[in-house]
Amino acid sequence: MVKFYDVSLPIKEGMIVYPSNPEPSIQRYSSIPKEKVNESSITLGSHTGTHVDSRLHIQNDADGAEALPLNSLYGKCKVLDLTHVENEIHRKDLESHQIKKGDIVLLKTRNSQLGYEKFRSSYVHVKLDAAEYLVKVGVKTLGFDYLSVKKPGADDEVHEMLINNLTLFEGLNLAEVPEGEYTF
């Protein structure tokens, strides 16, 4: 039997958001029994929960998520268990994993084990040498298990390198996903 893993974060009021981002708001505008259906409006920032970053996230007049190639949003993927990494993911942490051109790579770190109840500024993040390695290898898509791949307060060099060269998913919940190959 096939096993499915939901790697998304549930959208709810009060959920974890990156500092300075708006919290989601869910407002019921139609309710049973007064109306025939229950319906709500949902307002949230584009960098909330599990999301894909587009170039528009870091550059004015750039393409939004609608311009991302569809084949970068699905396919065979490799989940790499990097839970042994303390704070920073470096190239040396990735080299032994046989990453190839066109791969979708999901990085499972200690972040997934911390949970997603409150924002933690001490999350594991990607360093420039690791980002350069992933781009050089030709990774198609990178998924990361926190709301940002870069160190909080750091310049955007890592973020920009990744967004400009591959499709970047952030906010994945990989806590229950063992290292291995899957369909994403």
pLDDT string in tens for the chain (184-residue length): 889 999 999 999 999 998 889 999 999 999 999 999 999 999 998 889 999 988 877 778 888 888 888 999 999 999 999 999 999 999 999 999 999 999 999 999 999 998 888 899 899 999 999 999 999 999 999 999 999 999 887 778 999 999 999 999 999 999 999 999 999 9
Does some domain include residue 122? yes
Domain that holds residue 92: 46-183
Report CA Rg, the chain: 17
Does some domain include residue 126? yes
Does some domain include residue 10? no
Does some domain include residue 117? yes
- Split into its structural domains, the chain has a count of 1
Contact 109, 124 (CB under 8 A): yes
- Taking alpha carbons only, the member of 158, 149, 154 closest to residue 47 is 149
Q: What is the pTM of this model?
A: 0.92
Angle at 150 (CA atoms; ends 125, 98), nearest 5 degrees: 55
Contact 134, 166 (CB under 8 A): yes
Query: CATH code at 150?
Result: 3.50.30.50
Between CA 5 and CA 108 the distance in angstroms is 14
Strands 141-144 and 167-170, how do they pair?
parallel
